Amino acid sequence: MAIEISRQDIVSDRIHDLQSETRFLKLPVDPYLEMLGVEPLASQKAIINAINNPKYRFVCAAVSRRQGKTYIANIIGQLVSLVPNSNILIMSPNYALSQISFDLQRTLIKHFDLEVTKDNAKDKVIEMSNGSTIRMGSVNQVDSCVGRSYDLIIFDEAALADGKDAFNVALRPTLDKPNSKAIFISTPRGKNNWFSEFFWRGFSDEFSEWASIRATYKDNPRMSESDIQEARKSMSEAEFKQEYEADFNTYEGQIWQFDHEECIFNGSELDTKEMDVFAGLDVGYRDPTAFCVIGYDWDTEKYYLLDEYLDAEQTTEKHAKEIQKLIQKWDIDYIYIDSAAQQTRFDFAQNYDISTINAKKSLLDGIAHVAAIVDNNNLFIEQVCKESLSALDQYQWDANPNLAREKPKHNYASHMADALRYALYSFQTSSTSF
């Protein structure tokens, strides 16, 4: 397949020679790359052209392995830093991965013999004699990166982190200059996550400031057939598609395989009067509190996820009010709650007249039970329930080899996935008595 580019004025066969007063990278790119001895790939040219174009503030690149995505992102960061008094932030999923960009920046600075006034390995901050600063940060410590304005923010390996709030809440306000920009670059990690959402913005007229690029191993002429065959032998099919084909439809380690083509419905077309309606509730504070509403059709033996609620760092009162709205809307019969949340259960009953039932919590049995329903296309999701769709797609096994037993990775998807598991597993295996 050819490289996929969302905007017609971005090309991948050459680097655009834009006028210096309009382009983002004020210094010529081609001579810089020549001095590095770099012959850019088509995907790298497209990324440079997208970030250079004054029409686009946000560039999202879904690229496979061996495309030099981290390298080209750091080159772009370096080019911006050569303009005096520029501020660049390079975000990684964690502190350890941020070291890669820090080392790359050091290498580039040494190559061009640039003068550095500060090189702080602990905080991963480089200050240059021209007044520019290059700062490395991690999504899990985003607060340390706010409080300043940036000319460019780069999210490297963006799909590996829950970075939507980090960007929207913490970092987007720091792009407060008329020409400030952000790059999101990664191999995909399934659909219905923040990286895939940002990627598809590049194809929407609604988000005219966004541009997107997708490239696979086929767009890298330097990769040999033997390299590809070796990768196919050493990986599962899902992992190969994810890592080498930049495929959003697969996710290595994904727990449930939800069929988006067959199992998404429009709730306005569904009559729930004859259904049993029940709900699952996973309680959190810093982690979100998740609530999902499900209807079961006894005639067809199908489940319909009708509605949802997800919010973090809210009071019990706020959660109770939102759940009460859903109880009234759907006439919910049973609510299955995390049995570890007994204080919340008591508060709901005493103060808000919300009755709950302790959920069946056998983790692996519950996951298997939901899998049997999902894999047989017996669970249908209302199209507006984005958090539930995300949970189904992003719920993933923890790949840590030191685990004594298999368990899911704790991530943003876990909470709605737990609520879904409590509801479906408890409905079929529990009595409805207290």
Output the DSSP codes for 207-227: -TTEEEEEE-GGG-TTS-HHH
Report the SS3 class of residue 309.
strand
**Residue showing tokens 């057939």:** 225
Question: Please, is 73 exposed, middle or buried when counting C-beta atoms within 10 Å of its C-beta (0-12, 13-18, 19+)?
Answer: buried
Q: What's the distance, Cα to Cα, between the start and end of the chain in Å?
A: 58
Residues 367 and 311 in one domain: yes
Last residue of a domain, one of 244, 275, 304: 244
Residues 278 and 199 in one domain: no
**What's the DSSP call for residue 13?**
S
Give the pLDDT of residue 17: 79
Give the pLDDT of residue 222: 85
d(CA 336, CA 223): 52
Mean pLDDT, residues 22-33: 89
Query: Does some domain include residue 252?
Result: no
Six token digits for residue 30: 């081609």
As for how many domains the chain has, the answer is 2
pLDDT tens by residue, 352-372? 999 999 998 888 888 889 988
Report the SS3 class of residue 21.
coil
Residues 160 and 33 in one domain: yes
Task: Indicate if 225 belongs to the active site.
Answer: no
Residues 208 and 160 in one domain: yes
Last residue of a domain, one of 244, 274, 293: 244
Which residue is catalytic, options 157, 243, 252, 387? 157
Residues 339 and 400 in one domain: yes
Six token digits for residue 168: 């929207």
Q: What is the 3-state secondary structure (H, E, C) of 113-149?
A: CCCEEEEECCCCEEEECCCCEEEEEEHHHHHHHCCCC
Query: Does some domain include residue 22?
Result: yes
CATH label of the domain that carries residue 282: 3.30.420.280
Mean pLDDT, residues 10-35: 86
pLDDT tens by residue, 325-336? 999 999 999 999
State the pairing for strand pair 357-358/334-337: parallel
pLDDT tens by residue, 141-183? 787 788 789 999 999 988 877 777 788 878 888 898 888 999 9
Top-confidence residue, 163 or 347: 347
d(CA 425, CA 403): 24
C-beta atoms surrounding 141 within 10 Å: 13
CA-CA distances (angstroms) from residue 33 to 18, 21, 27, 48, 186? 16, 21, 11, 11, 22
- Residue 80 contacts by C-beta under 8 Å, 6 or more apart in sequence? 24, 25, 86, 88, 132, 151, 152
Tell me what the pLDDT averaged over the chain comes to. Answer: 87
CATH label of the domain that carries residue 119: 3.40.50.300
Which residues make beta-bridge pairs with 92?
138
**pLDDT band of 433, cuts 50, 70, 90:** very low
Q: Sheet containing 58-63: give its strands across.
A: 4-5, 210-215, 58-63, 181-186, 152-156, 87-92, 133-138, 125-128, 116-120
Six token digits for residue 52: 């250079």
Any idea of the CA torsion for 399, 403, 405, 406, to the nearest 10 degrees?
Answer: -10
Residue (of 8, 80, 69, 76) closest to 42 by Cα position: 69
Top-confidence residue, 16 or 57: 57
Give the pLDDT of residue 402: 63
In the predicted structure, residue 118 carries a pLDDT above the cut 90: yes
Give the pLDDT of residue 346: 92
Which residues make beta-bridge pairs with 434?
none
In the predicted structure, residue 231 carries a pLDDT above the cut 80: yes
d(CA 251, CA 242): 6
d(CA 319, CA 38): 55
Mean pLDDT, residues 78-99: 89
d(CA 46, CA 41): 9
Residues 274 and 317 in one domain: yes
Q: What is the helix (H) or strand (E) element at residue 321, kind and residue range?
A: helix 316-330
Give the pLDDT of residue 89: 94
Query: Does some domain include residue 253?
Result: no
Mean pLDDT, residues 283-291: 89
Percentage of the chain surpassing pLDDT 70? Answer: 96
In the predicted structure, residue 255 carries a pLDDT above the cut 90: no
Mean pLDDT check: name the lowest of 190-199, 344-353, 425-434: 425-434
C-beta atoms surrounding 411 within 10 Å: 16
Residues 299 and 366 in one domain: yes
Is residue 357 a contact partner of residue 337, using CB atoms and an 8 Å limit?
A: yes
Residues 135 and 98 in one domain: yes
Residues 13 and 50 in one domain: yes
Report the SS3 class of residue 198.
helix
**pLDDT band of 403, cuts 50, 70, 90:** low
Which phi and psi angles does 316 have, rounded to 5°? -60, -40
What range does the domain containing 151 cover? 4-244
C-beta atoms surrounding 280 within 10 Å: 29
In the predicted structure, residue 87 carries a pLDDT above the cut 60: yes
d(CA 48, CA 17): 11
Top-confidence residue, 92 or 238: 92
Mean pLDDT, residues 7-29: 86
Give the pLDDT of residue 86: 94
Residues 213 and 301 in one domain: no
d(CA 56, CA 79): 18
Give the pLDDT of residue 250: 67
Last residue of a domain, one of 244, 276, 300: 244
Query: Does some domain include residue 257?
Result: no
Residues 237 and 338 in one domain: no
State the pairing for strand pair 4-5/210-215: antiparallel
Top-confidence residue, 422 or 251: 422
d(CA 345, CA 422): 15
Residues 94 and 238 in one domain: yes
Six token digits for residue 286: 């810093």
Query: Does some domain include residue 251?
Result: no
Q: What is the CA radius of gyration of the chain?
A: 24
d(CA 108, CA 114): 9
Query: Does some domain include residue 219?
Result: yes
Which residues make beta-bridge pairs with 170?
none
